[in-house]
Amino acid sequence: MSNNNLIKGSLQTIILKLLEENDRMYGYEITQKVKELTEGEIKITEGALYPALHKLEAEGMLTTEIEQVDNRVRKYYSLTKDGQKEVSAKMSELQSFVGNLQRILDPEWKPGLA
Amino acid sequence: MRQLTDIELQEIRKAIMRKEISSAEILMEVYDHYISHLQEFSEEEFNEQLFELEQKFTYAYCHALQAKFNKEIRKELSSLQWQVLKKYFCFSKILYVIIFSFLAFQMSRFVTDQKEIAILMLSPLLILAGAHIFFLIKSHFRIKAIKKDFNTAGSLQSSLSYPFSEKLYLPGMMAYGIMWSAEWIFNSNPIANLAPSIAVIIFIILSIYVLTLLEVWQIKSKTALV
């Protein structure tokens, strides 16, 4: 099943969270990390990833550094101070959304219950 | 992970060149993505994987990505310059701005004729002109290596190049406007007495604009191809 539409809304949160845990990453590395963490269940498409990275960079959430790797230039992304603050805000927003979604799908469900 | 052969690298460059990307930043990011991906596969799978990448990074996608990136860059430069400007008025720096403004006003007392007023007003533009030449040379050398790799003499340049040049031209245009209206400003009686003060205010505004822009360039040159 394609879950691209479900991922779209939380892509920025995923990127910010990964960068919080990994210090700095480049585009391809982010796609592979998501694939690895979800055992291939979630694949971030390049079509959505790069525009999201550029948007976060322009908003001052990410900073970039350029490094020479095997005769080519690689662009690494990392969190700025504003980005670090944004991670927790985005995470609680997403967690609250998932909780609400759970309540809609299963009205019997209560937070903390397995 | 394996090292790609020269022929494979050539194939990748050819495929990317066909997309006619003009932004050096986008070109390098797509190129790195292609190589990082293809290094994961064997020589036998190379063509199939390259084809798959070509389905994702289509001509239309790359141009849309480039257009969005160029738009974001403009926003980013303006917001960065605004942030730098705000720092000038924070507690630790405001004293320097006050001293600078005070000295500029003192200097204006020695200004006597129209020519001196014009020199005072437009002197920050000399720094800007020098910075622009340096910017063009540095940007040219950074892009030259990429152009050589991709064997292109085309329109490849940093996405920051145009927006930055525009910001550098802006005070030049303003100066033209000032020169155009100078005669009217400085020859009409009620304003003529205020001419040195007006000139010094323009000098301070232009100086702050130039300094903030140079600081933005310094920040971006560490992370971009300019």
DSSP states of A29-64 as a string? HHHHHHHHHTTTS----HHHHHHHHHHHHHTTSEEE
Q: d(Cα B96, Cα B143) in Å, to the nearest integer?
A: 37
**pLDDT tens for residues B164-210?**
888 877 777 777 777 666 666 666 666 667 777 877 888 888 888 88
Which residues are within 8 A (CB) of A80 and not within 5 positions of it... i.e. 6 or more apart?
A60, A61, A62, A63
B120, pLDDT greater than 60: yes
**pLDDT tens for residues B40-78?**
999 999 999 999 999 999 999 999 999 999 999 988 899
| Ordered strands of the A62-69 beta sheet | A24-25, A72-79, A62-69
Q: Which of A65, A70, A75 comes nearest B29 by C-beta?
A: A75
Counted domains in chain B: 1
How far apart are the CA of A73 and the nearest CA of chain B, in angstroms? 6
Asked if B47 has any chain A CB less than 8 Å from its own CB, the reply is no
Degrees, nearest 5: CA angle B141-B144-B148? 155
**pLDDT tens for residues B138-160?**
888 888 878 887 877 668 888 88
Rounded to the nearest 10 degrees, how much is the dihedral formed by the CA atoms of A81, A83, A84, A87? Answer: 160
Cβ separation A72–B225 shorter than 8 A:
no
B10, pLDDT greater than 90: yes
Average pLDDT score, chain B: 85
Q: Which of A26, A28, A58 comes nearest B75 by C-beta?
A: A58
B84 inside domain? yes
Q: d(Cα A26, Cα A46) in Å, to the nearest integer?
A: 12
Q: Which residues of A have a CB under 8 Å from any CB of B? A: 26-29, 45-47, 50-51, 54-55, 57-58, 60, 63-66, 69-75
A112, pLDDT greater than 70: no
CB pairs under 8 A between A and B: 64
Average pLDDT on B74-91 reads 88
Contact present, B212 and B128 (Cβ < 8 Å): no
All residues of chain A having their beta carbon less than 8 Å from the beta carbon of residue B141 are none
Which of B206, B139, B209, B213 shows the shortest CA–CA distance to B178? B206
Note the pLDDT of residue B162: 85
Task: From the options 1.10.10.10, 1.10.3720.10, 3.40.190.10, 3.40.470.10, give the CATH code of A4-105.
Answer: 1.10.10.10
B134-149 as b/e: b if 16+ CB within 10 A:
ebeeebeebbeebbeb
All residues of chain A having their beta carbon less than 8 Å from the beta carbon of residue B222 are 65
B226 or B165, higher pLDDT:
B165
Contact present, A40 and A1 (Cβ < 8 Å): no
Determine which of A4, A68, A73 to mutate to test the interface with B (most B C-beta atoms within 10 Å). Answer: A73
Residue of A nearest to B54 (CA): A46
Please state the length of chain B. 226
Reduced to 3 states, what is the DSSP secondary structure of residue A76?
A: strand
Contact present, A19 and A80 (Cβ < 8 Å): no
Note the pLDDT of residue A1: 46
What angle in degrees, to the nearest 10, is found between the helix axes of B59-88 and B161-187? 50
Q: Which of A54, A65, A75 comes nearest B72 by C-beta?
A: A54
Tokens of B10: 């050539």
Owning domain of residue B12 = 6-221
Tell me what percent of the residues of chain B surpass a pLDDT of 70. Answer: 91
Note the pLDDT of residue A113: 55
Q: Which residues face B49 on adjacent strands? A: none
Tell me what percent of the residues of chain A surpass a pLDDT of 70. Answer: 91
Q: d(Cα B17, Cα B22) in Å, to the nearest integer?
A: 10
Asked if B75 has any chain A CB less than 8 Å from its own CB, the reply is yes
Q: d(Cα B142, Cα B137) in Å, to the nearest integer?
A: 9
Q: Which residues face A65 on adjacent strands? A: A76
B98 or A107, higher pLDDT:
B98
**pLDDT tens for residues A70-104?**
888 899 999 999 999 999 899 988 888 888 888 88
* ipTM, interface predicted TM-score of the complex: 0.85
B226 inside domain? no
Note the pLDDT of residue B188: 65
Q: Which of A54, A63, A72 comes nearest B35 by C-beta?
A: A72
Q: d(Cα B74, Cα B163) in Å, to the nearest integer?
A: 6
Instruction: Tell me which of B4-13, B63-72, B77-86, B161-170 is least confident.
Output: B161-170
Contact present, B117 and B202 (Cβ < 8 Å): no
Determine which of A25, A26, A28, A36 to mutate to test the interface with B (most B C-beta atoms within 10 Å). Answer: A28
How far apart are the CA of B43 and the nearest CA of chain A, in angstroms? 19
Cβ separation B33–A27 shorter than 8 A:
yes
